[in-house]
Structure 1
Amino acid sequence: MPSSPRPTRGFQLGTLVGARVIVQPSTLLMLAALAFLFASGTEGGMTRRAFTLGLALAVSLFVSVFLHEAAHAVAARAFGRRVDEIVITLWGGHTSFDSTALTARVSGVTAVAGPLANVAIGLALMGIGAALPLTGIGAGILSWAAYANLLLAAFNLLPGIPMDGGRVLEAIVWAVTGRRHTGTIVAAWGGRVVAVGVLLWAVVPPLLRGAAPSLFTIVWAFLIFSILWPAASQALRWSQTLARREGVSAASLMRPAVALRFDASVAAALNLADDAGAEEVVVLAADDAAAGRFPVTTAREVPADRRETTGLDAVTTPLPRGAAVTVGADAEALVEALREWWGRTDAWVVLSEGEPVGVVRLLDAMNALR
């Protein structure tokens, strides 16, 4: 199982479905900024009462963001995925979960869960507002919270990375074509289109009306653009990596190997390897676990007249226990294995139904996965 990522710095509020709930300190700055922004736009200007109301509206927005991320976490957990963190940040939030051997279905459903949660919350709040005779501040906060959830859902459903709608689009194209990197390319370009569209939305409509664009709107549009465009561009670069990794697996990288016990001779190892056409020999310990390996070329360096009497310890490179991957391990699984084993061994034993069938050298894997 892949190891959990290093915890994000921030205030930990608890756990949900096994995931740490983290609020980054920068979130407090955004809360204060939003409270000031909301308060300054109220009738009567900035007052203590207006700031308190603005803070309540800002808090309701971040609660909506948290529920959005919580829905992602619950969906991922429903697919049996380990969920590591739910992080609330300056610009929103993100959820980290185990994406090993990810499928289009898991990716798409997990992504759409967040916006659907906001739609459900928004409609529920609208229903509560219609059913209860609320007035004044209570009615205002409820109405704002409903509007914020629906707006959050609509924005996140835009078909471009890094929005959830982009991940849904990626999953759809992935499922249709069978290629994840194709879906990533389409969704990343969708993200770039959305980023440019935000700028055009801020500038074009006022100009068509013969008015000057609002400086406030332009600033916010540029901030959103500065988040969306780099994220989409990074996804495009990632798609190139995915394309290079397509087809990379333990089976494609391994050098065929045979296995025999540690007490055999170099001659026995060479005879077995030659009969099987193997390039590597895996040395088994007394309990039949892989304990070492060596290339056949190394064994051939032993003089022919000494091979019968030379033990495998003379040519074997030790392997740490557990330095193995299955023959079906794909590129993503190999990346996780590299993170775990780099610096601890120079090769993995490749297992098929628990039996050694090959050896993958870590340098070969790293070069193939770059």
Structure 2
Amino acid sequence: MSDPSDPAPAAGSSRRAPRPPGSFRIGSIAGIDVLITSSWFLVALLISVAFAPRIEQVEPGLGVWKYVAGFVFAVILYLSVLLHEASHAVVAQRLGYGVTSITLHFLGGMTEIDGTSRKPRHEFWIAVVGPLTSVAVGLVAVGLWFVVPDGLLQVAVEGLAGANLVIGVLNLVPGLPLDGGRVLKAIVWGASGNQHRGTIVAGWGGRLTALALLAWPLVQQQVTGVSPTILDLVLVFILGLFLWTGATAAMAHARIRQRLPALVARPLARRTLTVPEDLPLAEAVRRAQEAQAGSIVTVAADGTPVGIVSEAAVTAMPAERRPWVAVSTVTRAMEDGLTLPAAVAGEDLILAISKRPAEEYLLVEDDGRIYGVLSTADVDRAFRENARG
């Protein structure tokens, strides 16, 4: 129902990401993969069983087919959830953000959008469009209820209307990780000029919502006159845990992001020695030590970077073999994503590394000149030091 991942700047087009374990691709929308997790089949089964008595009441004597009809309703319901998530994704794309996937799971759906928003109004519109879509679907279903014939179709429309209105309204509750929490975050961010403050406020809203939800069974009988069932208690616990952990994670990420601007690639780069590919490894290491360089890059005859020498591979190579092997045997070819701007910093640096994991990256100036080599180990060390500071 909600979109727990914050939208982020990207190239404006979707990128294909590794499929999460236990998920299945069922299609795409606007070039975005649509996935379902194995947990979806469990919730579809639960919906089938829960909906069966209502179907039996309307169409007696269906036997096992009432569960099939319940499963069909589950599919229809999740198509409306997909529409909710697709609205997040399409608006994000229109605003220039990259969208990885839409996933349908036990608790509804999730739209994975890279990184964080650039502006509070982007955060607002990407977040609010989902609940508004659900409310719109619910209102359309309410209108259809008056014109469709009695029977299973009317029951399906009735369930669709109720579920979407509930999803839409509940997702507007001002607490992360719900969409309403992201709306609150955008409002606080816009008013204060501080994105992290907006996240903290919305995170506390999510925590308070989780506590209120967990306390609901204690007062349910007094308020509604109906005692909570075991199923009610289980659902309240699952949803409360989801809200609390999601809000807590968002607050933790906000605190980390506050320190990211201090993480700059340029001062972390190692001095680099460039050598031809066919140079013996022992000679390349000797030259690097003489030049006090912390990294080696192989280049073609015209000076174009060809590969980055792996520090781990050099260490693993026995010293007696180094004079007899070319330095190219311990290099990693310059693939896409291994070359970064020397000025990259903060969240852009973390995002670049997470998109293309590697041990070393080549840093280049705007004019293409080699600045140095950035080691992931050095980035991790600096990140931990910033976190402790």
TM over 0.5: yes
Q: Contact between 1:68 and 1:117, CA under 8 Å: does it hold in 2? A: yes
Q: Aligned residue for 2:349?
A: 334
How much does 1:241 deviate? 2.0
In 2: Cα distance, 1:46 partner to 1:184 partner: 53
Which residue is equivalent to 2:287?
none
Secondary structure at the aligned position of 2:262 is classed as coil
* 2-structure distance, mates of 1:5, 1:210: 49
Among candidates 362, 375, 380, match of residue 348 of structure 1: 362
Q: 2:171 & 2:212 partners in 1: Cα distance?
A: 15
For these two proteins, the number of residue pairs brought into alignment is 334
Partner SS, residue 245 of structure 2: helix
In the TM superposition, residue 120 of structure 1 has moved relative to its aligned partner by 1.8
Residues 7-26 of structure 1 aligned to structure 2 (within 5 Å): 7-8=19-20, 9-26=22-39
- Equivalence for 1:6: 18
Preserved CA contact (<8 Å) 1:191 1:229: yes
Residue 130 of structure 2 aligns with an amino acid whose one-letter code is: G
Deviations 1:72-105 (A, max 9, x none): 2222222333332221112212122333775544
CA contact (8 A) 2:175 2:203 kept: yes
Question: Could you tell me which residue of structure 2 aligns to residue 110 of structure 1?
Answer: 126
Unaligned ranges ≥5, structure 1:
263-272, 274-278, 295-313
Q: Distance in 2 between matches of 1:7 and 1:68?
A: 21
**TM-score, structure 2 length as denominator?**
0.70
Structure 1 segment 86-235 matched on structure 2, within 5 A:
86-99=102-115, 102-130=118-146, 132=147, 134-207=149-222, 212-235=227-250
For 2:198, the aligned partner's letter is G
Mapped to 1, the partners of 2:191 and 2:306 lie a distance apart of 44
**Superposition deviation, residue 152 in structure 1:** 0.8
Q: Kindly state the Cα deviation for residue 47 of structure 1 after the two structures are TM-superposed.
A: 6.0
CA RMSD in angstroms comes to 4.0
Task: Assess if the C-alpha contact under 8 Å between 2:56 and 2:62 holds in 1.
Answer: no
Contact residue 101 and residue 333 of structure 1 kept, 8 A:
no
CA distance in 1, matches of 2:355, 2:232: 47
Q: d(CA) in 2 for partners of 1:25 and 1:63?
A: 16
Query: Structure 1, residues 301-324: CA drift from partner, whole Å, max 9, x if none?
Result: xxxxxxxxxxxxx9xx97853643
Question: What is the identity, as a one-letter code, of the residue corresponding to 2:365?
Answer: L
Residue 368 in structure 1 maps to residue 378 in structure 2 = no
- The code of the aligned residue for 2:104 comes to I
Change (3 A) 1:248 1:151: same
Which digits, 9 at most, give the CA deviation of each residue in 1:11-42, with x for residues without a partner? 32221111222222321221121121122367
Measured against aligned partners, the alpha-carbon deviations of 1:214-259 in whole angstroms (never above 9, x if no partner) come to 444333212211222222222232223222323323356457x799
SS in 2 for 1:22: strand
What TM-score, normalized to structure 1? 0.74
| SS of residue paired to 1:186 | helix
State the AA in 1 paired with 2:93.
Answer: R
Alpha-carbon distance change, 340 to 159 in structure 1, aligned in 2, over 3 angstroms: closer
Change (3 A) 1:367 1:104: farther
Aligned 1:289-308 pairs, distance under 5 A: 289-290=304-305
Return the match for 2:97 from 53, 74, 81. 81
> What is aligned with 1:307?
none
> What is the CA distance between 1:198 and its match in structure 2?
1.0
Contact 2:55/2:155 (8 A) holds in 1 = no
Q: Which residue number corresponds to residue 301 of structure 1?
A: none
Amino acid at match of 2:25: Q
> Bigger shift: 283-292 or 193-202?
283-292
Aligned pair 1:72/2:72, yes or no? no
Query: In the alignment, residue 37 of structure 2 is paired with which amino acid?
Result: Q
2:40 counterpart of 1:27: yes
Offset at 1:53?
4.9
Q: Residue type of the partner of 1:18?
A: G
CA contact (8 A) 1:126 1:143 kept: yes
Percent of aligned positions that are identical: 32
Give the Cα separation in 1 of the matches to 2:202 and 2:76. Answer: 30
Structure 2 stretches of 5 or more lacking a match?
A: 1-9, 277-290, 310-326, 385-389
